Structure 1
Amino acid sequence: MNMAFPEKEKVTDTLEDSAAFTTQEPMAQVLSGSEVLVSGGEQETERLACTPLAPAHSLWTTDVRSSVKLRIDEGCQEEPITVHQMFKASVEKYGNLHALASKRTSKWEKITFLEYYQFCRRAAKSFVKLGLERFHGVAILGFNSTEWFFSAVGAIMAGGVMTGIYATNSPEACQYVASDSKANIIVVENQKQLDKILQIQDRLPHLKAIVQYSGRLQQKVSNLYSWDEFLELGLDVSDKQLDDIISGQRANQCCILIYTSGTTGKPKGVMLSHDNITWTANRASRVGDMQPADTKQESIVSYLPLSHIAAQIYDLWAGIQWGELVYFAQPDALKGSLITTLKEVCPTSHMGVPRVWEKMMEKIKQGISQCGYVKKKLMTWAMSVSLEANRGCMLKDDEKPFLLSLADSLVLQKLRAELGLGCCQKFFSGAAPIGSETVQFFLGLNIHLYEAYGMSESTGPHFMSGPNAYKLPSCGKVVPGCRYKTANVDSEGTGEICFWGRNIFMGFLNMEDKTREALDEDGWLHSGDLGRIDEEGFLYITGRIKELIITAGGENVAPVPIEEAVKRELPIISNAMLIGDKRKFLSMLLTLKCCDNAETLEPTEELSMEAVEFCRQLGSQATKVSDIVEGRDKEVHRAVQKGIDRVNSAAISNAQRIQKWTILRKDFSVSGGELGPTMKLRRPVVIEMYKKVIESLYQVVSCS
């Protein structure tokens, strides 16, 4: 295979201790069948002593039944293994350790890794009994639980392809995923989720059974089973029958589908192989310093949607790989109970999407604002000491200044404990870009948020921050064993970030055109993200190609840096979205920080405590959004304009300045449709929803 790269592209070896390679050096070893093919050099074909792989002719496919060549580079020649092989190895090492913990009737009930494995086998046998066909789907719709894990692993053991469906999906969105994945079985959490499937089951020709894992069945429906009934079904399936299915699986075959959120079109089914999962679970965790259980068992809380690759790798697959103890949060975790669970569990590691960290930040700020004068001063002092000491770098214990140690022991330890993070050593943020204000705030609590950057198509993290790869405001360094290049690099060193490695997906299910768009002819995955990489190998994301605004004057504008600058200047702003594609000037939609409805998580009219405090400092008495919008509150509008002016003063050209802005009546939310399941801004959706508001900004020609 000829590995040639465009002239302007920078190609970098991702193993930190080795020099950059050129296109003349052996670029990659691609595994097909049981052979390692070394391309670009004169080396003989080598053979690995590993389980033979399924025959493959290409790095990608769109057929779920097909297999792919594996990208085996010289620096990552670990033997390819299946999910079952990974689990079996962990059971041999950690079998008697606790693996999963669920709270039932106010008591934590735990099972060991051996019991976990046995439950997965029971689920697998029941899937076989229900007629699960090879490479057909098992879709799981519900909140994180032991049953979710058993279903996921059991589906793979039984020869199916597991896929998660977001619990917030509409019946129509559920129907799309279930139909596209040819789901034979759908596992639902409760009656609420069951109702969605019952509405669409007539449109699911491959569906054979539905399993409900929580709550009693409220109705008798053909081929509907409770969890206990489901586990009983497979008792007469022999171990040999299941083992024969397992032994026929190969590391370069598909076992998981991750569906994209569909912000720019219909969702795409990202096909991930056994090797994608097992290799990534191994490699990525090392960067974050996750410890194997025979050294020190890590404990985590599972609460983020498992239909997303970030939570799935962190909670499920890395949990098996390293022998972690996974506690399951309550279904209302994001409605307020998460911190209660964290306080009970005291995890050693925690991951959140940016919005989760923002909510924690707001909780601490609210607590501080309610303290007396002396205590508030003490907290402010301690956080300023920590921020100053930690800004931009990691400090080893013997490097920490005395003042930081004093501030930490007197104040900051207690603040972290209030969040349930008193015993936590590792803090991760992923799935969406995190704002600098949030990162800086947690540095003030002596917490370094390790940002992970990747895609569903890269099985999660491709770049990661960690104890040995930390530099603000970067996303860290490339995961060892992976590679990157920057394509179409401009004069400032910014280009499109492209990925290569064992973590790169097999292809989009039944979407050849989309797969060819994502993967170039040499097999590199094009992220669509713009970024630059410094001389030390740290990555800085500057925006997305599809998000670039091209004004009527032909000026290219990256919206994210401008939006982040506005939020930094104006702590009352929750979301900021820049508008101006094919327009004569830039404008901006703003939303205010509000309180959420505790039950629905819908943003309310009530301003958050931080927003109210901002107003008070201006002399405004506003407590609701309606007090401010439409120019009713002159003080707040004046302050917003001054903040916009400060951002504009740093613009590199007049075309990059915000000329008009408006405050919307309601904050963006997942339920409202403006944000995706991982809190990413759905720009096309927002533009369509607020079409009339946007047009009104451009009705008056004055833009000087």
Structure 2
Amino acid sequence: MSIQGDSVMSNGVAVMDVNTESITSQKAHTMSDSKTHSTVILNGDVATAELSGSSASESQETHPSGTAETLAEPPRSPELEEATEELSLEEPKAVPLSTATLATTLAPADQLWSTSRDKAVRLRMEGSGQASETPITIHQMFLQTVEKYGDHPALVSKHEGQWVTLTWRQYYEQCRAAAKSFLKLGLERYHGVGILGFNSPEWFISDIGCILAGGLATGIYTTNSPEACQYVAANCEANILVVENQKQLDKILQVKDQLPHLKAIVQYKGELQQKAPFLYTWAEFMKLGEDVPNEQLNAVIDSLRANECCTLIYTSGTTGNPKGVMLSHDNVTWTAHTASTMVDYVPATEVVVSYLPLSHVAAQMFDMWITMVFGATIYFAEPDALKGSLGITLREARPTFFMGVPRVWEKMQEKMRAIGAKASPMRKRVADWAKSIGLQYNYSAMSGENQVPWGFMLANNLVFKKVRAALGLDRCKTCFTGAAPITRETLEYFMSLNLPLMELYGMSESSGPHTVSVNNAYCITSCGKVMPGCKTRLDNPDKDGNGEICFWGRNVFMGYLNMPDKTAEALDQDGWLHSGDLGRHDQREFLYITGRIKELIITAGGENIPPVPIEDALKAEVPIISNVMLIGDKLKFLSMLLTLKCVVDDNGDPTDELSPEVLDFCQQHSVTATKVSEIVANKEPAIYKAIQEGLERVNARATSNAQKVQKWVIVERDFSIGGGELGPTMKLRRPIVVKMYQEKINEMYAVATEKQ
């Protein structure tokens, strides 16, 4: 697949049609604080948009590893006054809308990439279709939502056991107030505001407030060590850090002396346990900017350009320091608008639950930006969501869209299976019958036949409705899964409950989604089809059609901050993003991920083996297994590290207690063990036999002897985020696992060598 020469504008200039009733080039009336007044009346002239920058035909691109481009810098805001008055934000006052136009003048740029925080890029615009949409800033997208849905609920969070709501208008006003306070604290243009905490309204407000003030919003994982926090904060030259609580504050205080650009720290939950001139509570912070004139902030907002950086997403850094993925306003707004066209939504009625780490692109795009497009309501889960409380939030919020990473779906599956194991024989028979009907129906829907099997309505009433209600997903139109591979067995389990999971695929560097599965177009184990306005290319395909997946579209990132060499590795000379993933297309253009180039195991005999299919196959054969990691790079044969399913404590850490599912298996096989350590110490014959027999079934399907697993060992402790084996979205951190269990790995190969 190639880019056609005429898909990029020939002269870099376009005039966009704009709505004279919804934009202004000079002034805006004050937004009424009346609950019934949701329409904003704007005055002024309509401006046309000049898309600055030359095309490929006019100027030669310079690859990121070459000479850096020189670009004009947008106007900076004047210095702010030092004095401030103590004013309350408990009742947000009406604020004037900024002078945002939908016809945005882009900053001068002639290249598709940049690694400098203050350099703009040329957008991958086309002459027609989704990729020709007018570029807008985040503020403009936010303003559109406030104009349409200002009085509808936006952010809902729990305070002292009660749900508290901010409307879209109040949310916008709070973001402006935060932006003023950031300016008051001395936030410099293109400098970072690091946010370190669990999902909350304050997280959203800090992020957007930073962007409106001309900074770079930067999420930091709550699981990061002090040293990892320091790296991110220093790399983005953070002027301000916003932390959730004392625990996160302590991390920053440990490394504060290594952060030369840091001016202030804001703690948004709890009282400060120490006083210092640079420390602020959330209430103190929100009062700081009260005397900053609206005109002052508006000048900054109006200087924002859609093709400039507004946010940084840091990769997990499993193989070195994290890379700062630079996303522009257009990356965010265009991707959010485009993704929203693929789902069946009703404006101002949809509900989502925010619980996945917002420093990850999937959560940020799903929770913050796509919801903004159609004025959805976002409920915030409790900080212990992934440790067990998520179910409570789901049952209270009853989301209409829900995004889960594979491990979340697997945990739900395990819990439901444990409950099912305790059911009476009659209930089990009814459930098994209903699930067979559900699977049959969803395979029919997937193929486009939509044939409703006999008994479906009865199964729906007896089983499916009750299961959905128990999960809090009774209103859910679409359940998504992404951020890591998911097994066919888990997909079929939820299909059997009439809860098909729509798989997404993308990466931080594609602003989140690139291919999407939707209710009327999905295929099991595929990641869906490419988003409108985007392109997918498979590089160097093998005889089976597997090649490296490459992306093109306005979702493709600007570059890695201050890393021209890494940017040159990711973006080729023509601007295609190389994902590092291997995949293939079927005849209907559904994309299937078949491996990851960096994860490929290359045996001593030179055979390339993708680990995930083998790992997933064993988990499907032996359901008592929790995690599997294939070993064998540069080694003579394949081996595996295995963990057994166990009980997780209140902190989300694995315990030594076997899970109900494993206990049930033990009882069926007359095994008295109740702990993982007992099974490992005794090499419990029934357990080891079940694993070995499952592995032999997997090996029987191997396409070559090199793909057969010869050795395995059970690790006593299950993999976890806290243990370091899993990343923040529960993705396996392979290089770290190898280091952690090197001794066990060496033992497997040493024994084999001795025998030889």
Cα pair 1:487 1:495 within 8 Å, conserved: yes
Q: CA deviation at 1:280?
A: 0.6
- Secondary structure of the 2:416 match is helix
Give matches, 1:294-305, under 5 Å: 297-305=349-357
Cα distance change, pair 663–29 in 1 and its aligned pair in 2 (3 A): farther
Match of 2:197 among 136, 142, 166: 142
Q: CA deviation at 1:398?
A: 7.0
- Secondary structure of the 1:147 match is helix
Q: CA deviation at 1:28?
A: 3.5
Amino acid at match of 2:521: A
- The 2-side partners of 1:188 and 1:625 are apart by 37
Q: CA deviation at 1:614?
A: 2.2
- The residue that corresponds to 2:548 in the other structure is 496
Match of 1:572 among 612, 615, 624: 624
Give matches, 1:259-408, under 5 Å: 259-293=314-348, 297-391=349-443, 393-394=445-446, 399-408=451-460
Cα distance change, pair 558–274 in 1 and its aligned pair in 2 (3 A): same
Residue 94 in structure 1 maps to residue 94 in structure 2:
no
Q: CA deviation at 1:631?
A: 5.2
Unaligned runs of 5+ in 1: 1-10, 12-21, 42-47
- Secondary structure of the 2:273 match is coil
Match of 2:51 among 34, 49, 60: 34
Cα pair 1:392 1:472 within 8 Å, conserved: no
Report the aligned-residue RMSD. Answer: 1.9
Residue range with higher mean Cα deviation, 626-635 or 652-661? 626-635
Match of 1:518 among 570, 575, 593: 570
Q: CA deviation at 1:24?
A: 6.0
Cα pair 1:34 1:50 within 8 Å, conserved: no
Give matches, 1:469-484, under 5 Å: 469-484=521-536
Q: CA deviation at 1:702?
A: 7.4
Amino acid at match of 2:630: L
Cα pair 1:175 1:204 within 8 Å, conserved: yes
- The residue that corresponds to 1:654 in the other structure is 705
- Secondary structure of the 2:325 match is strand
Q: CA deviation at 1:468?
A: 2.6
- The residue that corresponds to 2:294 in the other structure is 239
Cα pair 1:125 1:242 within 8 Å, conserved: yes
Q: Which digits, 9 at most, give the CA deviation of each residue in 1:182-216, with x for residues without a partner?
A: 11000011111111111111111100001111111
Q: Which digits, 9 at most, give the CA deviation of each residue in 1:218-245, with x for residues without a partner?
A: 2112211111111110000000000000
- The 1-side partners of 2:647 and 2:444 are apart by 32
- The 2-side partners of 1:231 and 1:220 are apart by 18
Match of 2:657 among 606, 613, 629: 606
- The residue that corresponds to 1:584 in the other structure is 636
Q: CA deviation at 1:513?
A: 0.6
Give matches, 1:53-92, under 5 Å: 53-73=106-126, 74-75=128-129, 76-92=131-147
Q: Which digits, 9 at most, give the CA deviation of each residue in 1:536-579, with x for residues without a partner?
A: 11001010001111111111111111111111101011111111
- Secondary structure of the 2:193 match is strand
- The 2-side partners of 1:330 and 1:306 are apart by 14
- Secondary structure of the 1:628 match is helix
Q: Which digits, 9 at most, give the CA deviation of each residue in 1:399-450, with x for residues without a partner?
A: 4224122101111110111111111111011111112121111111100101
- The 1-side partners of 2:277 and 2:103 are apart by 45
Amino acid at match of 2:112: L
- The residue that corresponds to 1:173 in the other structure is 228
The percent identity for this pair of structures is: 58
Q: CA deviation at 1:67?
A: 0.4
TM-score (norm 1): 0.93
- The 1-side partners of 2:499 and 2:380 are apart by 23
- The residue that corresponds to 1:641 in the other structure is 692
Cα distance change, pair 239–505 in 1 and its aligned pair in 2 (3 A): same
Q: CA deviation at 1:375?
A: 1.7
Cα distance change, pair 696–392 in 1 and its aligned pair in 2 (3 A): farther
Residue range with higher mean Cα deviation, 374-383 or 352-361? 374-383
Residue 624 in structure 1 maps to residue 692 in structure 2:
no
- Secondary structure of the 1:644 match is helix
- The 2-side partners of 1:170 and 1:36 are apart by 42
Residue 539 in structure 1 maps to residue 594 in structure 2:
no
- The 1-side partners of 2:667 and 2:753 are apart by 35
- The 2-side partners of 1:70 and 1:653 are apart by 46
- The 2-side partners of 1:459 and 1:417 are apart by 33
Amino acid at match of 2:182: F
Cα distance change, pair 337–554 in 1 and its aligned pair in 2 (3 A): same
Q: CA deviation at 1:35?
A: 4.7
- The 1-side partners of 2:334 and 2:218 are apart by 19
Q: Which digits, 9 at most, give the CA deviation of each residue in 1:238-281, with x for residues without a partner?
A: 00000000000000000000000001111000000000000011
Cα pair 1:631 1:637 within 8 Å, conserved: no
Q: CA deviation at 1:25?
A: 5.5
Amino acid at match of 1:147: E
Residue 111 in structure 1 maps to residue 166 in structure 2:
yes
Q: Which digits, 9 at most, give the CA deviation of each residue in 1:572-598, with x for residues without a partner?
A: 111111111111111111111111111
Q: CA deviation at 1:476?
A: 0.5
Amino acid at match of 1:685: I
Cα distance change, pair 286–175 in 1 and its aligned pair in 2 (3 A): same
Amino acid at match of 1:510: N
Residue 412 in structure 1 maps to residue 467 in structure 2:
no
Amino acid at match of 1:185: I
Q: CA deviation at 1:472?
A: 1.0
Cα distance change, pair 703–582 in 1 and its aligned pair in 2 (3 A): farther
- Secondary structure of the 1:497 match is strand
Cα distance change, pair 541–395 in 1 and its aligned pair in 2 (3 A): closer
- The residue that corresponds to 2:104 in the other structure is 51
Residue range with higher mean Cα deviation, 689-698 or 618-627? 618-627
Cα distance change, pair 395–528 in 1 and its aligned pair in 2 (3 A): closer
Match of 1:464 among 505, 516, 523: 516
Unaligned runs of 5+ in 2: 14-49, 59-100
Q: CA deviation at 1:611?
A: 1.5
